[in-house]
Structure 1
Amino acid sequence: MHIVDDVPELDAAVGEPGQERALTMVLVLDGFLDAGNAAARAAQHLVDLGEGPVVATFDVDQFHDYRARRPAMSFVRDHYEGYDAPRLVVRLLRDTGGTPYLLLQGPEPDNRWEAFTRAVREVVERFRVTRVVSMGSVPMAVPHTRPIAITHHANDPGLLIGESAWRGELRIPSSAQALLEVRLGEWGHAAMGFVAHIPHYLAQLDYPKAAAALLEHVEKAGRLTIDLSDLLVEAEEREVEIARYLAANDEVNDVVIALEQQYDAFERAEESGSSLLAEDQPLPTGEEIGQQFEQFLAGLDGPDADQP
């Protein structure tokens, strides 16, 4: 990793050693946690508002699997050109009110995650970052006609600005972004983030509505002011396109209606404090669930395993 020291704006943003000054670093790693391209679109919006100087660069060759994620380039008639080299950089940006903050943006490392977290720690400590705020998005069985749900997470409960909709423990695939939050907490640095729930039928499209929702939460967590007007216009245009598509495709529209009914039923149950489980029906024990699952697996190898 290379840290750029000759940036006058950075010296002003960081301040003198011992000087108390809040500096947020927004984190977006393209790849795993980016359904609907929401996080990447949010990061690009921040850059579009006023591209600032690069203050740190990572050696992408140490982290990137080029055969798994091949960068694009152009072939023009009889030669190659325009190679889009992957970049993992930290930029110094300013919000609408002139408040400085950092943006760490680029492809999620394919390997050497621990080395990556140590490199980010160096950035955090070198620039005296007071809070790291990450953005991500995952596909969920939710309708686009309802508010964007956001999962809040942090390595310190005191950082949370909203309640989690999840109860209990979920075992999920890890990511470099999630590991970084854990490691920063172990090193005594505040880190938090937001994950938007993207309608699964829109996960492959750009979904600017979710990007705007993520940035609204980043504003609160990072104490920043971000102009979202252009992004909201883009979101409205996409909503019109979706409505036009649903009007011409009854099967997909039926799926959306079913999701709306399911969503509203859960909302009513949450508000009333009631349960959606059938009355007078005890919950199965873990052992009973395990037995049923074992029977299911055994059936896959049975004589009718090839039958639909």
Structure 2
Amino acid sequence: MASEPTLVHIVDEVPELEGVERLPMVLALDGFLDAGNAAARAAQHLIDLSDARVVATFDVDQLHDYRARRPPMSFVRDHYAGYEAPRLVVRLVRDTGGTPYLILHGPEPDNRWEGFARAVRQVVERFGVTRVVTIGSVPMAVPHTRPIAITHHANNPELVPDDSPWRGELRIPASAQALLEVRLGEWGHDAMGYVAHVPHYLAQLEYPAASISLLEHVERAAWLTVDLSGLRAEAEDREAEVARYLAANEEVADVVAALEQQYDAFERAENEGSSLLASDQPLPTGDEIGHEFEQFLAGLSGPEDTDGPDREE
């Protein structure tokens, strides 16, 4: 019987990890769970803070759908150049206190999720990873003027610090990192994660405020110290851009105000233990919100719009 093709190539010798008893690994996959580019920006911030060394490389050719997500390349006058090949790697980095940890980042695999999970298991067991912490973000009907909500999850109940705001069972689309958490639990490895709730109307922009919130949770979960000053400056600039845009676009500002009313009504109901349906709040319909969101996003990307927040490339 033919053996399974190798999906990950791991460095043989990593002397920096000799004697390390507690080694977390942060995982951030671009794509499905990355509204506002929050997880990818958080991962890049961690890498930028330290000299990063690649200690494992995944075979992207076996995992990536190039036609669904075509990598960028340059055409210079009369020839092709500068192909940016997708990379899915594990890097060894250090926090601001010098503590080593790993970060697995790159595009979410389009294929062979089970094989990818087994490959990550090889990395975990080869380096003695003690905890995997995943980060992601999803668009939600929440205003940017309220604290960023976080959904936490884990394959070990002892790793969930607080009571979940969700009740019952939710049927959601699967992701590679969600499956990985399940499989790691079956193999006896702790994995947990955080998903930031990004305002719908900012989900297509880079939203560093969500990256900050994710990294604050990573600090606690992975016992790390992260310098967030650079990200905080980016978040302040983004908030100022959004504020200027809303001041110049009354209809969109009205939608955000309605979302604030809805958010506050839900929070009051939760605190009082009553129904989450606030009958005394005049909320816009789904069609009305959708229409305003479409106009908002069209304004952000329109060539004649000079007042909207700048789109990140």
Sort the TM-score into its range (normalised by shorter chain). 0.7 to 0.9
Distance in 2 of aligned mates of 1:211 and 1:171? 26
CA distance in 1, matches of 2:221, 2:163: 14
Q: CA deviation at 1:277?
A: 4.7
Q: Which residue among 9, 12, 34 is the counterpart of 1:2?
A: 9
1:78-117 to 2 correspondences below 5 Å: 78-117=78-117
Indicate conservation of the 8 Å contact 1:24/1:101, yes or no.
yes
List aligned pairs for 1:143-292, cutoff 5 A.
143-277=143-277
SS of alignment partner, residue 75 of structure 1: strand
* Structure possessing the higher radius of gyration over alpha carbons: 1
Q: Judging changes above 3 Å, is the alpha-carbon distance between structure 1 residues 278 and 107 closer, same or farther for their aligned structure 2 residues?
A: closer
Matched, 1:46 2:19: no
Gaps of 5+ in 1: 280-308
C-alpha spacing 1:267/1:82, structure 2 compared with 1 (3 Å): same
Quick check: 2:266–2:278 contact (8 Å CA) kept in 1?
Answer: no
* Secondary structure at the counterpart of residue 174 of structure 1: coil
User: 1:67 aligns to what?
Assistant: 67
Give the match's secondary structure for 2:132.
strand
Please list every run of 5 or more consecutive structure 2 residues that lacks an aligned counterpart in the other structure: 1-7, 280-313
Shift in Å at residue 7 of structure 1?
A: 3.3
Normalised by the size of structure 1, how large is the TM-score? Answer: 0.86
SS in 1 for 2:210: helix
CA distance in 1, matches of 2:34, 2:54: 23
Contact 2:265 2:278 in 1 (8 A): no
Residue 134 (structure 1) shift: 0.2
2: CA distance, partners of 1:222 / 1:274: 35
> How far apart in 1 are the matches of 2:145 and 2:131?
33
Q: How many residues align?
A: 272
Please name the residue that 2:29 is paired with.
29
**1:239-290, CA deviations, whole angstroms, 9 ceiling, x for partnerless residues?**
00000000111111111000000000111111122224589xxxxxxxxxxx
Percent identical among aligned pairs is 78
Q: Is the 8 A contact 1:27 1:133 kept in 2?
A: yes
Change (3 A) 1:24 1:44: same
CA distance in 1, matches of 2:24, 2:135: 13
Note if contact 1:156-1:190 (Cα within 8 Å) is conserved in structure 2.
Answer: yes
* Whole-angstrom CA distance in 1 between matches of 2:278 and 2:50: 55
